[in-house]
Amino acid sequence: MRVLKGLNALGYSGINDILDQGVRNVRQVGRVIAQKLNKLGINTIGDLVTYYPRDYEDRNLEKKVNELVDGDECSVVLTVMTDISFSRPRRNMKIYKATAGDGSGVVVLTWFNQDYVREQIQKEKSYVFYGKVKKRGFYIEMINPIYEDAASVRKKTTGIQPVYHLTEGLTQQYLRMIQRNALDMVVGKLTDILPDELKKKYALAEINYALENIHFPAGIKEKDEARKRLVFEELLILQLGLLHLKNSQRTVSGIEFNPDARISKFIESLPFKLTNAQIRVINEIHEDMTSKRQMNRLIQGDVGSGKTIVAVIAMLLAVFNGYQAVFMVPTEILAEQHFNGITPLVRDFGVKTSLLTGSVSKKKKEQIKEGIKNGEYDLIIGTHALLEEDVVFSKLGLVVTDEQHRFGVKQRAVLTTKSNPDILVMTATPIPRTLALILYGDLDISIIDELPPNRKPVKTYVVDESMRERINNFIRKQVNEGRQVYIICPLVEESDVVEAEAAMSLAEKLRENDLKGLTVGLIHGKMKWKEKEAVMRDFAKGLIQVLVSTTVVEVGVDVRNATVIVIENAERFGLAQLHQLRGRVGRGEHQSYCILFCQSRNEIALKRMEIMTKYTDGFKISEKDMELRGPGDIFGIRQHGLPEFRIANLYEDIEILKEAQKAADDIIKHQKLEGREDYKKLHGHLISLFRDKLNEVAFN
């Protein structure tokens, strides 16, 4: 679900349609600059003014040279002591240097490829220099500092300056300038969609003030006030939409299934005992399914907590009532694995299963579709192939989807339009309940927070490069004992192509040197699904001993023989993501191991590694992850489909999120959107936004 694009999406259109105008209407935005802005997702003036800074530079901080410490970003007033020197170490690099001081110490000023400094910087003249300080002993350097004449009125080296994400050919200075031009067209003309009541209760700034001060704040206080307002609005709008959708669904009548004694017999027939958490969740599902309303429930459970068997029991209740049940999973190999695991369990209860995936032959697919249509099959397991228009169900009663982030609201809607079945969604992404309410706001939530007994915890170790040879020997030993190994490549931010190249070169290095003689397979993000699944099949069959992979293996198959997972540059991953990856091993009877190679000495990175060695509970880990608010993709947002926000950060803004949830609950409970004049603008905006976004239930 992509949420909240531009101010026009926030309900602020209508000021002479300025916000909807193309970005070329802004002063100093020509065709070339417009194309660069388009690459950043900026097409309209509304997009530009809601392209918020990723950070700020506080240029009000000024120091003497003897006060500087390594890593400082500040201003220093210096007198240039030398002429600018020039060197050219290679063809495309020019280096300009000068020495400057203030009586308390000396700084070396260095510029790369900035030819104009030779004309602008003069010996024995004083300037204000702003930049990042590098200090090694008594040697102090500033690289590419911004500067202006110390005697003139300061414009560049004072105040709080926004820092934006850029694209090639666009500088911070130029983007700031056109952002200023755009704001001059907009600020002061916007009518607030938030009523005064809300602004007063939650101490929220007015929209024009917020927009001005998020980009060019008068001070830290003003920037924080602006940010709180914009974050609150973004989270409130999402919450209101999801709450309304959820309440609308509560009124949707569903199938009223009858309890069936065969469910208890099935549970007794299982070769293992259900945990108390599984039984609790089964009871919650049973209560939903035997009620008159449609079930829309999420089962959240850690890797190995037994979500699948809970889903099977729900599907059996539908089947025993004469309905069909569908189990939809993200990959063909996972569908096959579920089919092979579930079929023998339900066969003795007269349940007929079928498997429908994209790679099934055309003839076989037609036979299966015919069987589904005439009610020959009770329980259908498959991939997105089940969403095809010509898949017609005889009597669909329940849809189960595995790994929610692969199937959005609209995809679930495709199946529900085929009848009005109950919906059950499963995810192994462990996130705190507060976040779950945002991510799965349209669903009721059940949590399986208990692992089956006798499950051996995966032993987790954090190592550095000095342990490389020992780890390679350990991998060989495990393989010689008949086990298999995952090696996960580090995350590469630049692109899928770079990530794929890194994975290929690592696999080659292992084949040629470190693990020579072992069978090494490879999976990366640039491969087609069919290629990935072929490799995973070979790994599952034991034909591959060591599988090198990017994180595409994260939503993987159950390879019980895999006992070691090595994660390279583990500090680049979010904790919850590391925990998901660790869940790939420890599924069989053999002791399993997770080896985290950590190259960083950063304090937060080391704390995160310590958490991984200390905790095995995914929910606990995700809470710790939130506490740390470490850098990077904390919960693997790309992988797990959290809504994309313009400004809100669900981890940093947890307190604002709680306030927004409280406000949304109050608005819905007291029907303020429909009944109050001062909520009219907010109501109108929500109708337009969510009717388009969710395409399921009209907002009014």
| CA separation for the pair 278, 283 (Å, rounded) | 9
pLDDT in tens, 270-303: 988 999 999 999 999 999 999 998 898 989 888 7
Task: Tell me 271's DSSP state.
Answer: S
Per-residue confidence (pLDDT) for residue 308, from 0 to 100:
92
Q: Which residues pair with 398 in a beta bridge?
A: 325, 422
Residue 452 near residue 274, CB atoms below 8 Å: no
Residue 576 near residue 651, CB atoms below 8 Å: no
- Domain-located, residue 535: yes
- Domain-located, residue 664: no
Q: DSSP 3-state assignment of 450?
A: coil
Task: Tell me 393's DSSP state.
Answer: -
In this structure, of 190-199, 202-211, 337-346, 629-638, the range with the lowest mean pLDDT score is 629-638
Q: Which residues pair with 461 in a beta bridge?
A: 595
Q: DSSP 3-state assignment of 109?
A: strand
Per-residue confidence (pLDDT) for residue 648, from 0 to 100:
85
| CA separation for the pair 621, 580 (Å, rounded) | 11
Based on the domain organization, do 295 and 436 belong to the same domain?
yes
Based on the domain organization, do 36 and 87 belong to the same domain?
no
Per-residue confidence (pLDDT) for residue 457, from 0 to 100:
87
- Domain-located, residue 342: yes
| CA separation for the pair 552, 315 (Å, rounded) | 29
CA distances from 245 to 222, 240, 266, 426, 699 (A): 35, 8, 35, 19, 7
Tokens representing residue 567 in the block: 């994660």
Based on the domain organization, do 68 and 144 belong to the same domain?
yes
The residue among 526 and 118 whose pLDDT is bigger is: 118
The residue among 14 and 432 whose pLDDT is bigger is: 432
pLDDT in tens, 364-414: 999 999 999 999 999 999 987 887 778 889 999 999 988 654 545 555 556
Based on the domain organization, do 599 and 500 belong to the same domain?
yes
Per-residue confidence (pLDDT) for residue 638, from 0 to 100:
36
- DSSP result, 472-485: HHHHHHHHHTT-EE
Calculate mean pLDDT across residues 660-686: 88
- Domain-located, residue 260: no
pLDDT bracket for residue 267 (50, 70, 90): very high
Per-residue confidence (pLDDT) for residue 555, from 0 to 100:
52
Per-residue confidence (pLDDT) for residue 644, from 0 to 100:
61
Residue 419 has pLDDT above 80, yes or no: no
Q: Which of 158, 181, 198 is the last residue of a domain?
A: 158
Residue 478 near residue 485, CB atoms below 8 Å: yes
Query: What CATH number did the domain enclosing 106 receive?
Result: 2.40.50.140
Q: DSSP 3-state assignment of 162?
A: strand
Calculate mean pLDDT across residues 183-203: 94
Would the pTM count as exceeding 0.95? no
Based on the domain organization, do 420 and 280 belong to the same domain?
yes
Based on the domain organization, do 346 and 412 belong to the same domain?
yes
- Domain-located, residue 643: no
Q: Which of 136, 158, 180 is the last residue of a domain?
A: 158
Per-residue confidence (pLDDT) for residue 377, from 0 to 100:
95
pLDDT bracket for residue 169 (50, 70, 90): confident
- Domain-located, residue 91: yes
Based on the domain organization, do 83 and 188 belong to the same domain?
no
In this structure, of 70-74, 219-223, 237-241, the range with the lowest mean pLDDT score is 237-241
Residue 167 has pLDDT above 70, yes or no: yes
| CA separation for the pair 287, 285 (Å, rounded) | 5
| CA separation for the pair 517, 504 (Å, rounded) | 17
Per-residue confidence (pLDDT) for residue 479, from 0 to 100:
96
Q: Which of 615, 644, 672 is the last residue of a domain?
A: 615
CA distances from 12 to 44, 485, 675 (A): 13, 54, 21
Based on the domain organization, do 444 and 575 belong to the same domain?
no
Q: DSSP 3-state assignment of 314?
A: helix
| CA separation for the pair 523, 182 (Å, rounded) | 45
pLDDT bracket for residue 44 (50, 70, 90): very high
Based on the domain organization, do 470 and 595 belong to the same domain?
yes
Based on the domain organization, do 28 and 85 belong to the same domain?
no
Based on the domain organization, do 486 and 597 belong to the same domain?
yes
Residue 446 has pLDDT above 80, yes or no: yes
- What residue numbers bound the domain in which 414 lies? 276-448
The residue among 342 and 687 whose pLDDT is bigger is: 342
Based on the domain organization, do 280 and 389 belong to the same domain?
yes
Residues in CB range of 126: below 8 A, 6 or more apart: 77, 78, 79, 80, 149, 150, 151
CA distances from 307 to 289, 313, 515, 590 (A): 17, 10, 36, 22
Query: What CATH number did the domain enclosing 559 receive?
Result: 3.40.50.300
pLDDT in tens, 502-538: 888 889 999 999 999 999 999 887 888 778 888 988 9
- Domain-located, residue 676: no
The residue among 2 and 105 whose pLDDT is bigger is: 105
- Domain-located, residue 140: yes
Residue 2 has pLDDT above 90, yes or no: no
Residue 608 near residue 630, CB atoms below 8 Å: yes
Residues in CB range of 174: below 8 A, 6 or more apart: 28, 33
Structural domains in the chain (count): 4
